[in-house]
Amino acid sequence: MWKKLCTKKGIAWTTVGAVAVAGFGAGYVFGAFDGLAAAEGEPNGGNDIAVSADAYTSSAKPDHNAGSVTRLLTGGGDATGVTVTYLRFALTEAQAAGGLVLRLPVAETVDNELVEVAHVSPVWSESDITAAESPPMGSVLDTTRASTQASQLEFNLPAGSLRAGDVAFAVTTPAAKATLSFHSRESGVDAARLSPVRAESVADEPLPRQPEKGGSCPVGAKLVPYCGALLGVAPGAHTDGSKTAALRNFEDNTGRGQHIYHSYHRGDVMFPTREEIAVATEADNPRVLFLNWKPRGASWAEIAAGDPATDAYLERLAAHITTYYGDKPFFFTVHHEPEDDVRADPESGYTAPDYAAMFGHVVNKLRAEGVSNMVSVMVYMAYLKWTQQDWHDELYPGDSVVDWVAWDTYGYSDPGYGHGDFADIVNREGTQGQNWPGFYRWAAETFPGKPLMVAEWGVWYSSRNPDHQAEVFAGAADQLAHFPRLKAVVYFESASAEGRDSRVDVSPKALDAYRRFTDSRAFSVDLGLG
């Protein structure tokens, strides 16, 4: 299924070379770009630009500096933990204005593994950078696949995507149990370099300079942070009582405010509610609402065809939002996790194409009624069984009506399906012959122009393995580095979700580990809503 989807999107997943380009400028997306064509472009008359600083960091040695080594590491393993390679270059105005290819000579690699290059702040020193003090991830500029047959990796940086002066990149991979190594500038052989090319595409917007070291990361269009990730919660799920009170209790317990408050609504209710509006507009702690709506009373096909009752409701909802919530941005999804409700019968009104059409109709209807501050999110269930279905690729409503792509995913404390660390939860791979690379890998290559979100995640506590929850939280901050496209992480907090408990304060050890996770510099994002 994964190979089929990538091929359909124009990405041959076994191909070596740059295959996808995405960026996070003021408008987030750099624009459509044929990576292979640009990589093979003609020289632009300039000379190669040598790397001016390089190093790698290791979560196994968070305070250790590896700026003078001859090999740079990227990946993961028991001995090294999570490793990330950092590169810095100095660009003139002319060099920054043209298209560039980052060429990264390989020392050791693994076959067919996804590798990404992300923009980071250039304010770090080769002799000082460590995992504990590494800059938050910015935009992913390009993605490629490693090959044991290739001597170097190539990444395309479209014209206009960089500014003159110092620019820096992080080289990452979602591979949590494999490591790639590259020749450093101290190795005595070819090291990383930028090669000017005559680019066939220009970035829509220049990429802004990243925040200074120690500063926060602002958000741009569509609520995408220029660096780091948004942090959120769906509090008190499947329980009685005020959800906004549960939100404040969660924030008190974890010791910090949340960027995102995820709430759920059904049928013909009006939302956001008065309580939700109050939460979103608190002067000292403004939050972004994630409004999740599940329609009732009509099938997907009927809604897509303009069901009169649903359209009338959407008109009332739009008036409610514009009147009571104004122009403050908010996330929105409709019928999240649709996979559970897909039916094969083409006359059922619940086929995958019916869902895609319904989603598009709802988003376009709200936009037409004046809701211009909505940031739409497609939320997948990410259950391995559904990823293997022939209709899985038909669920996507289309780039014009989807701003973010998200998925819901959970970890289990007891051994068996779903047991693993944070990296396993985010990018759970197929087993027993399932051809599935993990949801992050699939989404990175299938939707290269979209920011990614984990819209629900949690670790189910078990008295049979009481320390597992804390162990997952303890490794999560480091493992975020595997997933630079992940721009929002929303925890699903429930004391009883079908008998399961995901609360982060079930044990003191778990709460302490979760607090340390959310204290990561990756979540130092300024919403700019105060």
Paired residues of 375 in beta bridges? 331
Cα separation, 472 vs 41, whole angstroms: 45
CB burial of residue 250 (10 Å; 0-12, 13-18, 19+): buried
Residue type, 169: F
Instruction: Report residue 20 as tokens.
Output: 């996808």
Determine which one of 116, 154, 276, 456 is catalytic: 456
113/95 Cα distance (integer angstroms): 30
- DSSP code of residue 115: E
Could you give the angle at which helices 308-324 and 352-368 cross, rounded to 10 degrees?
Answer: 50
Q: Where are the alpha helices (DSSP H) in 16-172?
A: 35-39, 93-97
Task: Identify whether 108 is a catalytic site residue.
Answer: no
Q: CA 334 to CA 322: how far, in whole Å?
A: 18
Instruction: Say which DSSP state 449 is in.
Output: T
| Amino acid identity for residue 286 in this structure | P
Beta strands in 254-315 (DSSP E): 260-266, 288-294
Strand partners, 194: 49, 102
Question: Is the peptide bond between 272 and the residue preceding it cis, with omega within 30 degrees of 0?
Answer: yes
| Beta strand ranges found along 121-235 (DSSP E) | 140-145, 152-157, 165-172, 179-183, 193-197, 217-218, 230-234
154 has catalytic annotation:
no
CA distances from 475 to 59, 73, 176, 518 (A): 9, 19, 12, 11
Distance CA 77, CA 35 (A): 30
Q: Residue 319 and residue 296: Cα distance in Å, rounded?
A: 20
- Residues 19, 59: contact at Cβ < 8 Å? no
> Among the options 126, 154, 337, 493, which is catalytic?
337
| Phi, psi torsion values for 69, nearest 5 degrees | -75, 165
* Whether the Cβ atoms of residue 381 and residue 355 lie closer than 8 Å to each other: no
Residues annotated catalytic, as ranges: 337, 456
